[in-house]
Amino acid sequence: MEIIIVLIFISITMAVIFLVFFIWNVKSGQYDDTYGPSVRMLFEDKSKEEIQKAAADKKAEQHN
């Protein structure tokens, strides 16, 4: 039966680790905005060159 005590200590230690993680998450503001990050990751990151290229394309289009 001694093994059960060891197991319980292990399980509580793990649970405490998760609790600490959760508290850390709350403190660092990860729950402040629950909607923004979910859509932000879908935005395409355009490099500067791409943006400039698009602008140049557009200018050319307008000149035609």
Partner 1 sequence: MELTEPFEVKTKTVCFHCGQPCNDEIITEQDKTFCCHGCRTVFEILNENNLCEYYSMDQSAGVSLRHVREESYAFLDEPEVIKKVLAFSSETFCKVQFFIPTIHCISCIWLLENLKRLNPGIIRAEVNFSRKQIVVDFNPTKISLAGVARLLAALGYSPSISLEEQKNVSPMNKALVTKLAVAGFCFGNIMLLSFPEYLGLDDADRQLRLVFSFLNLFLSVPVVFYSGQEYFTSAWKSFKQKQINIDVPIAVGLAALFLRSGFDIITHYGPGYLDSLAGLVFFLLIGRWFQSKTYDSLAFDRDYKSYFPLAVNKKVNADWRPVVVHTLEKGDIIRVRNMEIIPADSHVLSAEAYIDYSFVTGESKPVFVKAGDFIYGGGRLIGQPVEFVVEKKISQSHLTSLWNNDAFQKKEESHYKKIIDRAAQRFSWIVMGVAIITAIYWYIAAPQQMWLVFTSVLMVACPCALALAAPFTFGNMLRVFGRNGFYLKNADVIERLAAIDAVVFDKTGTVTHGTSEARFVGILSEEELGWVKAMTSSSTHPLSRAISKSIAHRTSSPISNFSEIPSKGIQATIEDHDIKVGSAALVGIEDQHKEVKSKVFVSVDGEVRGYFALETSVRQGLKNLLDRINIKWPVYLLSGDTAQEEERMKSVFPANAGMHFNQSPLEKLHFVSNLQHNGYHVMMVGDGLNDSGALKQSDVGIAVTDDTGVFTPASDGILQGNELKYLDRFLKLSRKSITILKMAFGISFFYNIITLGFAVSGHLSPLLAAILMPISSISVVGFSTLAVNWAARGVTKSKP
The single residue among 3, 13, 39, 47 that binds partner 1, judged by CB under 8 A, is: 39
Query: Interface with partner 1 includes 10 (CB under 8 A)?
Result: no
The single residue among 7, 10, 14, 26 that binds partner 1, judged by CB under 8 A, is: 26
The b/e string for 15-44 (b: 16+ C-beta within 10 A; e otherwise) is eeeeeeeeeeeeeeeeeeeeeeeeeeeeee
Query: Interface with partner 1 includes 19 (CB under 8 A)?
Result: yes
Query: Interface with partner 1 includes 40 (CB under 8 A)?
Result: yes
